[in-house]
A and B are shown apart, each in its own frame.
Chain A
Amino acid sequence: GAVVSQHPSRVICKSGTSVKIECRSLDFQATTMFWYRQFPKQSLMLMATSNEGSKATYEQGVEKDKFLINHASLTLSTLTVTSAHPEDSSFYICSASNERGTRTYEQYFGPGTRLTVT
């Protein structure tokens, strides 16, 4: 149980275009999803937390107009990187949790999306 998928696994796009990454919880309802960014050989950096049906909460320094997050259903959240630039190239990972309210999140991670902007 607790399987999370992410699509695409790898994407190459040109500078100035937008890219959408999907995160799905396959066998449970995810009330909360998290989006992370990871640079090579570094730890995960939390970008934003999204709760189903409400606006995402972005971490300090993360541009909400550049990284659009939508959590329209209990099984799907999307991250859209708008007007991508080479510095946006990174490994993006989502995680899903089915806990809320108590603020204790047991997270299950997707396999990640490697974005390369040329």
Chain B
Amino acid sequence: GIQVEQSPPDLILQEGANSTLRCNFSDSVNNLQWFHQNPWGQLINLFYIPSGTKQNGRLSATTVATERYSLLYISSSQTTDSGVYFCAVEGMNRDDKIIFGKGTRLHILP
């Protein structure tokens, strides 16, 4: 099955800093989503982005499907951005299931 690797595993930043989170995947995908899991466990949709670039406020994401990676950019970080960021992919084959990466744990210091 598809392998999903996220980097870095952990990131500690000062409030106001920018960050780039990466998601590499080992095969072509039908679907890719970025999620933010807040400290209470709730997963929040950030982007549905199997290819291309999207922006939503301080967040943006780019997926380069041909090179099998996606990037999530967070600008002007706020303490509420803390939590774990997951990417999840779905492969092209009929039997492929949705695979989550191990996540990037982001901690924004006030």
Q: Assign chain A's interface to a size class.
A: 20 to 34
Tell whether, in the assembled complex, residue A43 and residue B30 are in contact, meaning their CB atoms are under 8 Å apart.
no
Give chain B residues whose Cβ lies under 8 Å from the Cβ of A44: 43, 86, 88, 100
Give chain A residues whose Cβ lies under 8 Å from the Cβ of B43: 44, 93, 95, 109, 112
Tell whether, in the assembled complex, residue B30 and residue A106 are in contact, meaning their CB atoms are under 8 Å apart.
no
Q: A107 vs B90: C-alpha distance in the bound complex, in angstroms?
A: 12
Q: A43 vs B87: C-alpha distance in the bound complex, in angstroms?
A: 10
Q: Is B50 an interface residue (CB 8 A)?
A: yes
The count of residues in chain B whose C-beta lies closer than 8 Å to any C-beta of chain A is 23
Tell whether, in the assembled complex, residue B30 and residue A104 are in contact, meaning their CB atoms are under 8 Å apart.
yes
Q: Is A67 an interface residue (CB 8 A)?
A: no
Known contacts A112-B41, A112-B42: A43-B86 contact under CB 8 Å: yes
Known contacts A105-B31, A109-B35, A112-B42: A42-B98 contact under CB 8 Å: no
Tell whether, in the assembled complex, residue B97 and residue A46 are in contact, meaning their CB atoms are under 8 Å apart.
yes
Give chain B residues whose Cβ lies under 8 Å from the Cβ of A103: 30-31, 90, 94
Q: Is B75 an interface residue (CB 8 A)?
A: no
Q: Is A91 an interface residue (CB 8 A)?
A: yes
* Interface positions of A from 77 to 118, Cβ below 8 Å from B: 91, 93, 95, 103-109, 111-112, 114
Known contacts A42-B102, A43-B100, A46-B98: A106-B45 contact under CB 8 Å: yes
Tell whether, in the assembled complex, residue B30 and residue A109 are in contact, meaning their CB atoms are under 8 Å apart.
no
Sorted nearest first, the 5 A-B pairs with minimum C-beta distance are A109-B43, A112-B41, A106-B48, A44-B100, A104-B31
B binding-site residues for A, Cβ under 8 Å: 30-31, 33, 35, 40-45, 48, 50, 86, 88, 90, 94, 97-103
Can you report 8 residue pairs joining A to B where beta carbons are below 8 Å apart? Answer: A34-B98, A95-B43, A103-B31, A104-B31, A104-B50, A109-B43, A109-B44, A111-B42
